[in-house]
Structure formats: structure tokens, C-alpha cells
Amino acid sequence: MKHLLSHSLLAGLALGSAAQALDTAAIDTGLSYGPRPAYLINQLPEGPLKDRLQSCAGQTPSRSLFSIGHRGAPLMFPEHTVESNVAAAQMGAGILECDVTFTQDHELICRHAQNDLATTTNILTTDLAETCITPFSPATADAPARAECRSSDITLAQFRSLQPKMDSFDKSAQSPQAAQGGTAPWRSTLFAEGATSMTHAESIALFRSLGAKFTPELKSPAVEMPHNGFSMQDYAQKMIDEYKAAGVPASDVWPQSFDPEVVKYWIENEPEFGKQAVLLDGRYSLDTPLDPMDPASFHPTMQELADMGITYIAPPMWFLVTEDRGKMVPSAYAKEAKSVGLKLITWTLERSGSLTDGGGWYFQSVTPAVQNGSSYYQILDVLAQEVEIEGIFSDWPATVTYYANCMGL
């Protein structure tokens, strides 16, 4: 992997003058699909989709805004690291994601959750283990191993001292060292040696140098807010302020949140950024969950969301498709959103269980139609051509980029 950036260089890139200089000499990412698209396409049943995708075998890769790197390319590299995002950019992802949370000193960092340090870093094997809100406890006959460590309990300087690793935790572990591996110990070390974590400001500099645009997600805090005087409004505003400080136009940013109040804050207080604010739809986790095939369960309704000024909504893939006589087709949710003019983004391709076993959570609404790995392209085709999504997150963006390039998206 070439052109990887060290923390010291990233810190320099976060400064305006260095970032502006880098704009004129973007990192050469050497776009490549790699072998995976062809591998999946070969598994497709004979028919128009397979024929079309195979006809593009000789195409030249180009960057696509339809292809969104989900935490970079975490199928191979530790999520939210320089290495993961460089890989996603090399696969042609036109938009890259920093999940944004904060440290004890209220610095914004890229981390999937404020309390994920025990699974995504080596904190349990360092002196900072003493800061964990739930210290490591070994597995017993009655309970799995446990630990919870929060970025809000350590400073930015302490966060920088941690080594990123593949997201894993062995619940049968008897020691912190054993807990590092998870169910597939090789994933904790392969491609992870020397991986580099980032602040949010550093991600802005890196993504711009890679020729990509931005979709930061303001993560729900694991601590009560305000946190030492730092309110939710302060948090939401600081994320936007870091784009403004870097001179990034609002049109290049799709800020995201699961919290409707945060999206409304951006719409009302940062209207240029609010135009592209994305409401992530987490209503599957309600006590009475949304049924994507029953519009009567949509609270608020699609029209009410549009009336709030929301332009983009982003549900999981299974909200947008259903199964009909062995085929994947648009759901009632997808049709209702489209009828009121809401734009759809969805997540997450290639983050599912085995597709030979139905695909798990992400494919739950179309399990009977799922056969094997080629179903990634089958669901992608329905989402792109019939649901008409604007873009899709992927843990391996080359799969999506190939499709987008072939279909002219």
C-alpha cells in the first residue's frame, strides 16, 4: 500500500495551508476493482444482469459518488483508519465516512461508537485499561467475557497512543490478551500492523487528498449530555465547523445522524449543510418497530419527514426490498419515500452473514431470494434500478464501483 500518511503528516494536513497545497497534488490511489467483482458476477444465474456486468469486464475504473466507503474498507483493514480509507478510495469510492464521536477533552475523532475501544483497539492490554468504565472480566460458566471502554474517558493524546485493530472480541477469553482475537484471531492482526487512527479534522484532509467527498455521522453519545459543558448542539455544530474551517463546500458533505433532532438542528442552523443532511432510519429497534411493508406503521410518515425539511433518508437495505415469487422487488417503504420526493441512501452491502445461509440481518426481507454471493449484485441492481437509491455504503467498495461504472451511475 503506497502513500499512507503518518499521524504527524495528518496533523499537518489538518492545517489550512497544508490542506490547500495538497488539493493541487492529490494522492495517486491507482484505482482498481481487484478480483472480487468478477468472482461475484461469475456466480450470477444466466440472464441480462450477468450479461451486462460481464460486458464491462474491460472498463477503466472511475470514481463514483454512488459508491460509499463504510468506515473505509473494513473487510480487510481496521475500520476508520488511514489504511482502510485509502483502500476504499483505491476501489473508487466517491464518498468516504467518518463516524464522529469525541474524547474527554471534546476533540472529534473517527470511531464507530464512543464505547467501542475494547473491540477496535488494544486498550485492554495497555495502561489505559484502568480508564475503562467496565474493566475486563473473564468468561465464566454463567457469563461471557466483558469490557467497555469509552473515548470520552481518555484524552486525544491518550487515544493516539492506542493501536487500531480489526473489530473483534473473544467472549470466551480468560485474559485481556486473549480477548483481542475474537472469533477469527487472524483478523485482529492481518493488515492491522501500524494502522493509523484519525481525528475528524484529519479525515477531512485525507479524504480530500484522495479525491473523495464526505459523509460524517454524528454518533449518539454513550455519556449523558451535556458532558462537562459540551452540549449536543455544541457537538453537532463542532462537526460542521471543522468542514467550514477546512474550506470544504457544503455541497461536498452529507452529514448523517440517527437523531431527528440533530438533523433538524443542521437544517435550521446550518441550512447549506442541512440541504444534504441524512436522517439514518433506526426504527427497526423501536419497541413497536416499523414494518417496511405497512405504511400505517411509519411514524413519522414520509410526508411528515419531508415537511421537516429532510431531503435524504437512509434505512438499512432490507427496509427497501421485499420478496415476491422468488424475486427481490421494492418495498412499500421505498415506494412511499419516493412518492413524497425523499432521496434514499442505504447500508450496508457486504456486511452480512453468509449468503448461502440467507444473508442474515441485512437480507432478512428477501431471504428466500438469496442464493449465494451473487445476490450482492442482485439486490444492488434492484436498489439502483427500481428503488432508485442515490448511493449505497459498502464494506468493500469495489463491488459497488464496478456496478456503478458499468451502469453509468
The predicted-structure confidence for 170-194, as pLDDT tens digits, reads as follows: 999 999 999 998 666 666 676 778 8
Average pLDDT over residues 113-127: 97
The model's pTM: 0.93
- Whole-number Cα distances in Å, 371 to 246, 317, 327, 378, 385: 46, 17, 11, 10, 20
Strand partners, 253: 214
Residue pLDDT, tens place only, 245-284: 999 999 999 999 999 999 999 999 999 999 999 999 999 9
pLDDT at residue 7, rounded to an integer: 42
Query: Which of 304, 197, 322 has its CA nearest to residue 260?
Result: 304
Query: Which of 53, 137, 84 has its CA nearest to residue 378?
Result: 53
Residue pLDDT, tens place only, 68-107: 999 999 999 999 999 999 999 999 999 999 999 999 999 9
3-state secondary structure of 80: coil
Q: Domain ranges in the chain?
A: 31-60+290-409, 113-188
Average pLDDT, the chain: 92
Q: Identify how many contiguous H helices and E strands the chain contains and give both numbers.
A: 17, 15
pLDDT at residue 20, rounded to an integer: 35
Average pLDDT over residues 51-65: 97
pLDDT at residue 17, rounded to an integer: 30
3-state secondary structure of 269: helix
Vertex 50 angle, CA 343 and 334, to 5°: 20
Average pLDDT over residues 274-303: 97
Given a cut of 90, whether residue 28 has pLDDT beyond it is no
CB burial readout 46-69, b (16+ within 10 A) else e: eeebbeebeeeeeeebebbbbbbb
Given a cut of 60, whether residue 10 has pLDDT beyond it is no
Residue pLDDT, tens place only, 147-173: 999 999 999 999 999 999 999 999 999
In angstroms, the CA 33 to CA 88 distance is 10
